[in-house]
Amino acid sequence: MLNIVLVEPEIPNNTGNIGRLCVGTESRLHLIHPFGFVINDKNLKRSGLDYWIHLDVTEYQNVAQWMTQIPDQSRVFMMSSHAEKSYLETEFQDGDWLVFGKESVGLSAEFLALFDKKNQLKIPMSPLIRSFNIANSVAFVVGEAKRQIAAGKI
């Protein structure tokens, strides 16, 4: 099972879509406060549809609280447009932690400094855009990680 981490998510529709993706891919969702919405926001529930009740989700009041749950920090991968290594060059494993920052600014330099720089990953994209929508970004990375994990079981 993959662990999907959203640090200070701001847009309920994105979080709802990511929650639905987590249910569909049997991944856990970890949400780190503060949020830009309340968890019972109608847009969150609308995006997650009736799947939200099946979601394995945990909320943390801050990054420090979340970090106590990580058994192996070498398996934490942070998505950053400033990273040098692509997520496509990474060998994912069951149980990995895939971390995404807030929609407006991504992960802060302070957050990134908490982990090994080699675990910062980027999603290759055209220079015509600054970033992908966070729900799309999560789908790219989760899809690749699940593909690799399934291939390893064959």
- pLDDT per position as a tens digit, 27-38: 999 999 998 877
Q: What is the four-CA torsion angle of 42, 44, 46, 50, rounded to 10 degrees?
A: -110
Q: Tell me the CATH number for domain 3-152.
A: 3.40.1280.10
Q: What confidence score (pLDDT) does residue 39 get?
A: 72
Q: List the Cα angle 53/57/59 in 5-degree steps.
A: 130
Predicted local confidence at residue 42, as pLDDT: 66
Residue 45 pLDDT greater than 90, yes or no:
no
Domain edges within the chain: 3-152
Annotated binding site for S-adenosyl-L-methionine: 79, 101, 123, 131
Segment 89-146, tens digit of pLDDT: 999 999 999 999 999 999 999 999 999 999 999 999 999 988 899 999 999 999 999 9
Provide the total of helices (H) and of strands (E) in the chain, helices listed first: 5, 7
Tokens of 43: 């847009």
Annotated binding site: 79, 101, 123, 131
- The reported pLDDT for the residue numbered 131 is 84
CA–CA–CA angle 30, 123, 41 (5° rounding): 35
